[in-house]
Amino acid sequence: MICSSRFSIRIADIYFDEPKPSSVDVDILRYNQTAAPVRGAVCTPFPTLLIDLSLSPDQLLANMKRDCREKIRRAEKDEAAGNLIYEFSTTGDHEMLTRFGNHFDRCAAVKALPHVSRERLSILARHRALDISFVSDPSGEILAAQASVLTPRRVRGLYAAASFRFTADQSRRSFIGRANRYLYWRDLLRFRESGAEVFDFGGFYIGNSDHEKVQINQFKSSFGGKLQTEFNCEECVTLKGRLARWAIQQRNSWAWRRHRHHTLARVHEHTHGNTNESTVPTSL
């Protein structure tokens, strides 16, 4: 369980069917990805894609789509030639947090999406529950990065972003696409070696109307895995918690309307001659 506070609201996050404490002094209990809805809480279905890390590396590769395997193998040669550099941290290193946040925010700005929650990253880091990884080129430019939540049995993707939208060069985009897949591959191997049993991609879009989310699904599915529906639940323990939840709902509604406005604007731009949409989907 990870406890935090925001604007005097005390919050406890419970992950993956972790037992609920007998007593906890908080305003809101958040159950992240439980197997079944929690009685008395507001619950939302959460589909996600899970990778079984008990499999051998050869089995993990065999479960991937052929194109994904080939790009990973090419990226291994890129790394051997000194053209890719893989880094990671599980210690909450401030420099790594800053580099990740700057990279993610830069990518998010291109799509008019919210910036990374540096406060959330810091809270996870303080609890030794944060993993950050990068793949960079020799100049130090981050090509792809991922932040994940660490628990003893499961690692769950939290934020991910790749930098292909900053170039129109197709060769460079392909290189970044290989780097992005290689990042996930190196992470999977490392999580497996650490004793984790499952890697969770952190969500899976159920639908077909949002083309970009469909592309992200295709990227995730290229690694294999099993689709599973879990539940995110919120239990308001106090009146303050209920009022805070109402305020958050209002804020999220405003943010959704703003995002929809920007999305429609991008669709309009695309239909009027923008041909630079990437063929390398990622989580951002």
Per-residue tokens: 1: 């369980």
Give the pLDDT confidence score for residue 258 in this predicted structure: 67
Q: Which two tokens stand for residue 153?
A: 């049995």
**CB–CB of 234/245 below 8 Å?**
yes
- The predicted pLDDT at position 101 comes to 96
Structure tokens at 178: 């290989």
Tokens of 152: 């003893």
- The confidence score (pLDDT) of residue 265 equals 57
Q: Which residue has the tokens 């193998």?
A: 73
Q: Provide the pLDDT for residue 189.
A: 98
Query: Quick one: fold of 48-226?
Result: Aminopeptidase (3.40.630)
Q: Are strands 85-89 and 198-200 parallel, antiparallel or unpaired?
A: unpaired
Give the tokens for residue 24.
């906890």
Lookup: tokens for 220: 């995730």
Amino acid at 173: R
Per-residue confidence (pLDDT) for residue 266, from 0 to 100: 53
pLDDT at residue 141 in the model: 95
Q: Which residue, among 183, 194, 185, 188, has the nearest Cα to 86 in the 3D structure?
A: 183
Judge contact between 154 and 198, C-beta under 8 A: yes
| CA nearest to 42, candidates 241, 236, 228 | 236
Q: Look up the pTM and report it.
A: 0.83
**Axis crossing angle, helix 170-194 with helix 66-80, rounded to the nearest 10:** 90
Would you state the pLDDT for residue 257?
A: 66
Low-confidence ranges of the chain (pLDDT < 70): 252, 254-284
Range(s) within the chain of domains with CATH label 3.40.630.30: 48-226
Q: Which pLDDT does position 280 carry in this prediction?
A: 28
Query: Angle 171-160-163 (CA atoms, 0-180°, nearest 5)?
Result: 30
How many other CB atoms are found less than 10 A from the CB of residue 18?
A: 16
For residues 41 and 43, give the distance between their C-alpha atoms in angstroms, rounded to a whole number. 6
How many Å apart are CA 132 and CA 103, to the nearest integer?
Answer: 12
- The reported pLDDT for the residue numbered 275 is 29
- pLDDT for 269 equals 47
